[in-house]
Structure formats: C-alpha cells, structure tokens
Structure 1
Amino acid sequence: MSDDTEKQLIYSANDIAILLNLKISTIRKYANVLQKAGYHFYKNEKGHRGYYDNDVIVLKKLIEIKSHPDMTLEQAANAVVSWVNQSSVSGSDTSDNMNKKRYISYDEFREFQNKQEEQMQQVINLNKELINRLDKQQEHLDHHLKQRDQELINVMNQTLETRKLIAAAQEEEEAKKGFFKKLFSKKN
C-alpha cells in the first residue's frame, strides 16, 4: 500500500451503514455486486472488508445511480465501475476530490439562470418574429391567390360571353340562310 492509503481511516461495514443510513447487509450486498463488476475493496489478512473514503464515494454513487428508473443493481454497479475507471478515483486522490468545489455559489447560479432566461427570451422573440413573417407571407399569398382567382373567373366569364355571342351570331346566320333558301326555293 502507498503512504496515502496507509494514512487513511479504514471504516467497517457498520460504520458505513451508519454513515449511509443503510443496513449492514445492504452494504455487504452492494460491495459484493461492485466486486463482481470489477471494483476492488481493501481486505485484511482475515479477508474482512475495510472501506476507505473513496469506497464511501463509490457506494454513494451506486445508491444514486440505482435509484434511476429501469436501472438494475448490476447495471448500476457496472456504471459505477466505469465511472471509477474514467475518473481514476483512488485512495490517494479521494481527499483531493472531496476538496474540489462540487457546488456553485448562489450568485453563480443566479448569473447562470439569468443567462438562461436571456437566451430563452431571445428564442421567444425570434419565434415571434418568425411567426409574424409567416403570417405576412400567408397574407401576401392569400391576396395573390384571391386576385388570381378573380382574374380567372373574369376570363372564364368573358370566354362564356364570347361563346354566347358566337352562338347567337351563328344562329342568326343560319336563320338568314334559311330565309334565303325559302325565298329561292318558292320561286322554283
């Protein structure tokens, strides 16, 4: 063991149970599942487990992850072991991790929240502008469609009137031809 590990306190399962407000049997169960997932705990010469500060962090992380819906204890243990391997939590750097700032101040939170609100307001304003543009485009399109429809109706009416005039002229022509036919056919 390194000097840092030897200087750390070793907690018993009972100490951890009190610290985490769990039963000793639950602590042992969690430790067994973590070991099966590849996590290593300290064991004395008699094979009894001892828990370092970093083990407490790992157990807390397991409790946190397993509380998510649809997460089995084994899945949570695998996730914790992966997390430990990625974050390199070890006995020597546990105290450093504990001293790192985990929370932001109220002022930092308010600043973050204000920035979020500003961004949200910008998105809302952009959405309003886009809606206005879409409304104007729709009005413009509706106006042009009405105008086109009216022009189409006018052209159709003119075409219909022209056809009626042509038909009337053809009837009149036929009537004149018929009169002359009658006139010339009586003389014969």
Structure 2
Amino acid sequence: MSEEKEVKQENIYSSNDVSTLLKIQESTLRKYALMLEDNGYKFHKNEQGHRGYYDKDVIALKKLIELKKHPDMTLKQACIALMTWLSEKSKSNTDTIDIAQHERHGDGYNELLQKIDLLQKEQEKQQDFNKLLIDQLKKQQAHSDLNHQQLMDAIKVVNEQKQLIAATKEEKVSPEKKKKSWFKFWE
C-alpha cells in the first residue's frame, strides 16, 4: 500500500508531454511503449486504456532511446537491454524534473530564456543611462536658468543706463528751447 501512495504522488505525464520531453513523435512513443510492454514492462493505464507515464517511465524511455542510438543495437535488442538494466535496479539518477526544466521545450525555449536575461540586463543598463541623461539635463537647465537670469539683469542695467543718459540729455538742453511754443517748432 505504501508503494501505491508513492506512485500516486508522482507526476503523471501524457503522451504529448513525454514525446515533447524526449523530442520524439507520439507515434514513435507508442511504438516504444508497445515494444516495452511486449518485453514485460508495465505502464499505467486509465479506464479508457490510455497510457500515463510516471517519472520512472520517462527515465526508462530516455534510456531506451540512448541504447537504440548505439550503431550495433536494434530496437528489440535495446528493449531487452533496458529490461535487463531495470531488473538489476541500476536506475539512473536523472530526474525528470531536471529533464523537464532543460529539455521539455527544446533549445528554442532555452534560447528565449537567455534572450530574456540579456534583455533584462540591457534594460537595467538603459535605465542607468537614462538616469545619467536626466542628471545632465537638470545641470544644463540650471546653467541655462543662471544664464537667463544674468542676461535679464544685464538688460535691466542697460535700460537703467539708457534712462540715465536720456535724463542727462534733457538736462543739457537749453532752457530757451524748452520754452518754445509748439507753433515755433519750425524755427
């Protein structure tokens, strides 16, 4: 009974998940499963007869694929070798969770993760650069405001000097010219 509880707590994968995980077609997975069953391997099946794959099944299928890659080994021989390997209980330490994280979605998924990391680093650099630009703009604005204030002060001084010059010129004008009537203006 304790074994049944352990089995029920394990992940059960669908054939689609396992075929993606192992990078094989679902039809190839069915073929491998049938050959293993012919050699005595037991897969979990639901009421409709559909296979469910536990972590140990995925490990066994991965080992079968590795064995089949050997140039002198047929698929039937690989199944026999796998059953021998399993009966000796020399199970691999490979965990399907590790496989799932690194291989489930293939190389494209891992490349996307790397690109996301790169983009996050670039975004941080861009934010730092933006802060630097904002600081420079604030300094330029402060300098521009200072220049503007100095210019306004200079204009004010120039206008005051013009007024003083104009007042001085009026005082220098002879009193006779000041007393002329408007009709004597042309004289």
Q: TM-score, normalised by structure 2?
A: 0.47
Q: TM-score, normalised by structure 1?
A: 0.47
With CA pairs under 8 Å and 6+ residues apart, which has the higher RCO, 1 or 2?
2
